[in-house]
Amino acid sequence: MSLELLIAGAKALAVTLKPEHLEAFRIYGEELAAWNKDFNLTAITDDDGIQIRHFLDSLSCVLGMEDTGERLGGKHIIDVGTGAGFPGIPLKIIRPGMRLTLLEATEKKVGYLRHVVKRLGLEGVAVIHGRAEEVGQMAQHRERYDWAVARAVAEMPILAEYLLPLVRVGGRVLAQKGESAPAEVQRAEWAITQLGGQMRRLAQMDLVGLAETRYLVLLDKVAATPPQYPRRPGMPTKRPLTAKGDQDKG
């Protein structure tokens, strides 16, 4: 596949793409298109859409995650509800020194992820089939990560309950959001505080070739998450933490 849009967009983000990065993205795009014919991994299947809405959108996370000059190399990152690997795999391609855990609840997507990780020769990547509510209560994952990231998984009050329990105190959360981000963050203020988080920054992203507004929601983990969170599967969606007292429901 041609990668001109990805190259131009990455340049606008001040993200350097080396020849080995471009080759990895080419293979990734071809594998996504091939598997999508049988497994319906994504509704975005054209080359331009894959470059902009998948690859470039994922790479925009670097601007938020390295905003203090701290590189992702050596960091342990979990991508929750990763789907076909976004944003985790593109970040791993350009920052190979980071450790990556991909968490996905849909089995057919887990099979694809394992295939593409092997096809790309990525080291230091674990693929987990599971739900965030369950994994967040497991000792080997709870408050173990430097970063928890997610894209297009749920609204912020729900997403905060998925992500913050996975991050160590001193770690951070990044959520990729569309135009609703400011309103979602406002609704999630109580939940974020209750779960041990603190709002860090809401950063608007302007991507080459993409008309709609994108945001990065960045949270700091400033206190341990109370042990009752995340609640059992389905409860964060059924009863989002949006007001005091909601923690007692479910």
User: Which DSSP helix (H) or strand (E) runs through 183?
Assistant: helix 181-187
Structural domain containing residue 56: 4-248
| Poorest-pLDDT segment among 47-56, 62-71, 126-135 | 62-71
Predicted confidence (pLDDT) at residue 83 exceeds the cutoff of 90: yes
pLDDT at 245 over 60: no
The pLDDT mean for the chain works out to: 93
CA distance 191 to 246: 9
pLDDT tens per residue across span 110-154: 999 999 999 999 999 999 999 999 999 999 999 999 999 999 889
Q: Is the pLDDT of residue 178 over 90?
A: yes
pLDDT value for 42: 85
Distance (Å, whole) CA 186 – CA 61: 21
Enter the pTM of the model. 0.95
- pLDDT category at 244 given cuts 50, 70, 90 is low
DSSP state of 130: S
In this prediction, residues 177-203 reach a mean pLDDT of 96
- Per-residue pLDDT at 1: 78
CA-wise closest residue to 175 among 189, 165, 190, 185 = 185
Helix (H) or strand (E) holding 2: none
The C-alpha atoms of residue 94 and residue 64 are separated, in whole angstroms, by: 15
* CATH code of the domain containing 231: 3.40.50.150
Q: How confident is the model at residue 87 (pLDDT cuts 50, 70, 90)?
A: very high
Longest dimension (CA), the chain: 53
pLDDT given for residue 249 in this prediction: 47
pLDDT band at 211 (very low <50, low <70, confident <90, very high): confident
Q: How many domains, the chain?
A: 1
208 — pLDDT class (breaks 50, 70, 90) = confident
For residues 181-198, give the mean pLDDT: 96
43 falls in which pLDDT band (50, 70, 90)?
Answer: confident
Distance, in Å, from the CA atom of 60 to the CA atom of 165, rounded to the nearest integer, reads: 24
pLDDT at 168 over 50: yes
User: Does 199 have pLDDT greater than 60?
Assistant: yes
